[in-house]
Amino acid sequence: MTNAQRPNSGRDGGGRSAVIGDTVPDEAVEQGPAGPSDANYVAEKDRSFLSRLYTGTGAFGIIPARRTWYIVTAVILVICIASIAIRGFTLGIDFEGGTQVSIPVTAGVTVDSVDQVFAETLGEEPESVQTAGSGSAETVQVRTETLTAAETEQITRALADRFGPELTTSDVSSSDVSSTWGGEITEKMLIALVVFLVIVFIYITIRFDREMSVAALTSLFFDIVVTAGIYSLVGWEVTPATVIGLLTILGFSIYDTVVVFDKVSENTRSVLQTTRRTYAEQANLAVNQTLMRSINTTVISVLPIIALMVIAVWMLGVGTLKDLGLIQLVGVVVGAYSSIFLASPLLVTLKERRADIARHTTRVLDRRARVEAGDDLADDPRPVRGRPSGRRRAKAAEADAPQTPTGKARRAR
């Protein structure tokens, strides 16, 4: 295939992005035996996978396969909602209140043995028993309902008797969080989330049109539900750090969606003034052109989060960073998925419900069918390339008006 015959997928010969969505003169369209050729509809699929990914030639049919992505999205939502409804969340002591007892790990101190001591001493098992830290700083963290001073003294002596002499009563520490404090923290968390969503809703409503706003808000709802659902599946405690991480990744998700939608707007700005591409094809090209950027942003964001979880949690034993790291890791990946595979396809579905977009899509597809059938399209009316100005309309009307004789005869030379 020569350069003159190679399909134009929105890329220049030098590998740089061509301006998509601007009006393309009919003279620039390759001529075939039946009129203007539709060869430029074909994406450049003869390149390697990485080359197509980097150049963004529209070779990945994300929008055409949107029904598949809707099914995948629905399955993920069902799993996450079921986990939230059945398993629920493991709320941290900051939200529920209670007593937390910390026991340094010495000879014989394990999660099972500590759980057994609590059950024998208090007559019931604690709400949670887990380890935190590593090396000499490793401890067993026990969370129970709020204990009285006598019960705290009783369990401290029982632990020292069981694991002494390596463990003494002074080594065991405890802290109480009242249920009132936990209720205040929960209320503040909900207020922060609602305020964030209201601000985002106002911004999206001003920034985008109606269809884009609906798609962006749906993507945001998906991010919240899936991130919360995965946290429910894992079973880690929900702490204030979890809420902070959630608000952070929601901002990332909105940013990624805005970038993709900006490119869609650029590509579809003049799509109704041409019969070369449908709205869905221009949107698919925009997603392909921003795909590599979304992948790079996600990878660059995920790497430091993984480093945070490995070094701070498993090596240094800073357990409080575990909650922040997990929700950010999940949220970044989910946000990238939703902006590409949910928000953009949903936008196209909503746009195609509009009468003008539907008529344009029908016109483009009919034209292609006629080209394939060998019909002559040379006499077809060309689409209007924008609205003429008032001066241009006046000049055109003056040119079309019949000429009135002036009454002066032309002198013969």
Note whether 146 and 248 are same-domain residues: no
Half-sphere exposure of 292 (CA within 13 A, CB side): 13
- The model's pLDDT over 181-210, given as tens digits with 9 standing for 90+, comes to 667 777 887 888 888 888 888 888 888 888
Query: Quick check: 8 pLDDT over 50?
Result: no
Q: 160, 177, 194: which is the final residue of a domain?
A: 177
Q: Does residue 18 lie in a domain region?
A: no
Pick 278 or 397 by higher pLDDT.
278
Neighbours of 12 (CB within 10 A): 10
- Cα 116 to Cα 124, 172, 397: the distances in Å are 9, 16, 96
- The model's pLDDT over 146-173, given as tens digits with 9 standing for 90+, comes to 888 888 888 888 888 888 788 888 888 8
Rg of the chain over Cα atoms, rounded to whole angstroms, equals: 32
Please, are residues 294 and 339 in contact by the beta-carbon 8 Å criterion?
A: yes
Distance CA 20, CA 69 (A): 25
Note whether 228 and 318 are same-domain residues: yes
- Greatest CA separation found in the chain? 132
Note whether 245 and 326 are same-domain residues: yes
* Structural domain that includes position 138: 98-177
Burial call 186-195: b when 16+ CB within 10 Å, e when fewer:
beebeeeeee
Note whether 137 and 82 are same-domain residues: no
Note whether 124 and 255 are same-domain residues: no
Q: 358, 375, 399: which is the final residue of a domain?
A: 358
Paired sense of beta strands 31-32 and 35-36, if any: antiparallel
Closest CA to 277 of 285, 288, 287, 265: 285
Distance CA 118, CA 141 (A): 12
Count up the domains in the chain and report the number. 2
Closest CA to 53 of 288, 282, 339: 288
- pLDDT value of position 27: 37
Note whether 223 and 118 are same-domain residues: no
- What's the token pair of residue 82? 């079921």
Note whether 82 and 105 are same-domain residues: no
Note whether 187 and 135 are same-domain residues: no
Note whether 281 and 338 are same-domain residues: yes
Query: What is the value of pTM for the model shown?
Result: 0.71
Note whether 297 and 323 are same-domain residues: yes
Note whether 113 and 160 are same-domain residues: yes
Note whether 190 and 153 are same-domain residues: no
Q: Does residue 56 lie in a domain region?
A: no
**103-112, 251-260, 351-360: the lowest-pLDDT one:** 103-112
- Residue 270 per-residue DSSP state: T
- Residue 309 per-residue DSSP state: I
Q: 129, 160, 177: which is the final residue of a domain?
A: 177
- pLDDT value of position 72: 96
Q: Which of 26-40, 105-119, 273-287 has the highest mean pLDDT?
A: 273-287
- The domain that contains 248 carries what CATH number? 1.20.1640.10
Q: Does residue 247 lie in a domain region?
A: yes
- pLDDT value of position 201: 85
- The domain that contains 124 carries what CATH number? 3.30.70.330
Query: Quick check: 79 pLDDT over 60?
Result: yes
- The model's pLDDT over 117-137, given as tens digits with 9 standing for 90+, comes to 888 888 888 877 877 766 677
Q: Which of 102-111, 118-127, 355-364 has the highest mean pLDDT?
A: 355-364
Residue range 23-30: mean pLDDT, rounded = 39
Q: Does residue 144 lie in a domain region?
A: yes
Pick 67 or 152 by higher pLDDT.
67
Confidence of residue 21 (pLDDT cuts 50, 70, 90): very low
Paired sense of beta strands 90-91 and 98-104, if any: unpaired
Confidence of residue 320 (pLDDT cuts 50, 70, 90): low
Confidence of residue 255 (pLDDT cuts 50, 70, 90): confident
Q: Does residue 371 lie in a domain region?
A: no
